[in-house]
Structure 1
Amino acid sequence: MNTVKLVELNADNWYECCQLELTKEQEDYMEPNAISIAQSKFQPSLKPYTITYEGQTAGFLMFNSEPEELDGYWVYRIMIDKKFQGKGIGKKATQLMMDEMQKLPDVKKIVVGYHPENKGAHNLYASLGFVDHGDRFGKEMAVVKSL
């Protein structure tokens, strides 16, 4: 069975997350996981998780547990290692993450920013009901899922 699970980042799994790799094309759109993990240590509202697939570390994600711009709770990172891409893991992990985020107080919107040329991200978020209202932050576009 192809099981996707989210596991809170911990002493046993953080290093594997640092070793996950993107495709060469995707590297232009995302910081390394180690930077996100370090950021989470200085910004306690950030919640980092490993994404496991059939018991293996397949990806990493992180979201903010406090509202930010656009009165939304922001997704900071979702990445799937290049060896695990194309299996629907990212979509399932995003759904699991949104379930977690909906447990936060007063969540009305989930927001994610990504580079406009990142077609994979665009297709994923559109398929999950995120809408582009024209919000832009630096080089990134922001899409919103209203709950």
Structure 2
Amino acid sequence: MMEFREIDRSNYWDCISLTVDDSQKWFVADNKWSLVEAAYEDGLYTLGVYHGDTMVGFILYDFDDTIPGWSMSRFMIGKQYQGKGYGKQAVVAFLDYFKKKHNAEKLYISVSLDNAVVRGMYADIGFEEIKEVAYLFPGRQFREMQMVKKL
């Protein structure tokens, strides 16, 4: 069973120790970067994804004025925990957690066009593709598919 705990002094080292495989590094920002952003920007919420007492992943979510709507901006499962079904379990559990906490009707995500496996997982959970978006993030062009799930 997956559960979520806010990132704080007691668990931030566990969070920054989680990394993805080198082949995935362009799909999600490094957790250290995400925690720094959350510390200095308002309205960014960070959660550790736990399986039992072990942090296996990380979520950053926010209300994105450009959509406008709630967005799961960052989601990752540590490379040592991948391939065990934790990603799908965590997203399904987060949807329930998020709906109860924020009483929202929709949740948006953006997924790299190059990340077919994760796009498929989100589609299996019920996310629908909306539109392709492109942006620069430090000096690199990214192309993503924006998706939405009605809660």
TM-score, with length taken from structure 2? 0.86
Does the CA contact (< 8 Å) of 2:5 and 2:49 recur in 1?
yes
Gapped regions of structure 1 (runs ≥ 5): none
1:108 corresponds in structure 2 to 105
2:40 and 2:28 map into 1 onto residues whose CA distance is: 19
Does the CA contact (< 8 Å) of 2:28 and 2:75 recur in 1?
no
Task: Give the aligned residue type for 2:144.
Answer: E
Q: In the superposition, relative to structure 1, how do residues 48 and 115 fare at CA in structure 2: closer, same or farther (>3 Å)?
A: same
Give the number of aligned pairs: 143
Q: Secondary structure at the match of 2:50?
A: strand
1:38 corresponds in structure 2 to 36
Percent identity, aligned pairs only, is: 24
Pair 1:81 & 2:78 matched = yes
5 Å-filtered alignment, 1:1-147, equals 3-64=1-62, 66-102=63-99, 103-105=101-103, 107-138=104-135, 139-147=143-151
1:34 and 1:120 map into 2 onto residues whose CA distance is: 24
2:140 corresponds in structure 1 to none
Q: CA RMSD in A?
A: 1.6
Gapped regions of structure 2 (runs ≥ 5): 136-142
TM-score, with length taken from structure 1? 0.88
1:44 and 1:96 map into 2 onto residues whose CA distance is: 25
Which is strand-richer, 1 or 2?
2
1:33 and 1:108 map into 2 onto residues whose CA distance is: 27
